[in-house]
Amino acid sequence: MSNSGFVLLDKIAGETSFKALFPLKRVFSTKRVGHAGTLDLRASGLIIAATGRCTRLLPFIEAKDKCYSFRLHLGYETDTLEWDGEVVEQDEANVIANPEGVKQSITREALEAVLPQFTGDIEQVPPKYCAVKINGVRASDLMERGRNIELKPRKIHIGELKVIGEGEVTEGCSGKEFATFDLICECSKGTYIRALGRDIGRALGTYACVSQIRRHRIGNVTLDKAVRGEDLTRENLLPVDAVLDFPVVRLTDEQVAVIRQGNWLPWKEKVEGVGPEGHVFAANMQGEVLSLCFYEPGRIKPKFYLGEDDK
């Protein structure tokens, strides 16, 4: 059985994305593993991991849009932009003492009124505690060394941003919140939910941080199909075309041999559903994907081989 393929993991909060891959190394007896789209340490949810030669396909996963849910805490901001970080700003004017929990002083309607500012193509400054590199060093590492850094805004796209709940109390808040809301966000690669929460708070004239970030979807792949690391088995290994939706062309053994040698293949049939970059999967007659290729009218050219080596 091949050790190359994709695995859908449900990462738990408090575990690094790197550590989440350890079960793959054990189950598939390989060090050649990787993942697309790092999740924050405190975030949970879907990670698409790959083993063997399929790790070469991870950049195509990385580029997909994603969907997250998160809790927005209004009233204070922390250094990490998470609910339990070190408080750097506190909105005393809006805090309402309420021993029974959170009392809303910004309404759901007020929040929903500012959300259109954050949909479509926008610019976002990443959190200072993040993996963005400055002169080859992670911003988070520079912050931990006491450096004062400034990050440049980056262009992102948010397709949908909506409120799905309100008024819940979260344990462990380091600041005084006066309102909480649960939201869901569909966004492009490079979007930081923590920074989004910060910016929403400022648009409301206050401060904000977030908790309970959970990723539910990457591209067309959803969290409900993912498995926890401790439950992983070889049966959870998925073929590449179950995750990436490039068109698949079937080849004879002779045609596979041509592609395997890195040579282009004459192809007279039109391939439907090819994207602007022309990517297609080449499979054998049994449907096993063996190569990522470029299609152009009249021929198919191999990009890289995904099948097992000849024995």
Q: Which residues are catalytic?
A: 40
Beta strand ranges found along 27-178 (DSSP E): 33-36, 44-51, 66-74, 76-78, 87-90, 120-124, 133-134, 137-138, 154-166
Structure-derived torsion over alpha carbons of residues 223, 82, 198, 222, reported in degrees to the nearest 10 = 0
| Tokens 């030669």, residue located | 53
SS3 category, 173: coil
Interior angle at CA 121, CA 89 and CA 206, nearest 5: 20
Q: How far apart are CA 23 and CA 181, in angstroms?
A: 35
Contact 223, 148 (CB under 8 A): no
| Tokens 């805490």, residue located | 73
Contact 303, 293 (CB under 8 A): yes
Q: In what order do the strands lie in the sheet with 298-305?
A: 248-250, 279-283, 289-296, 298-305, 265-267
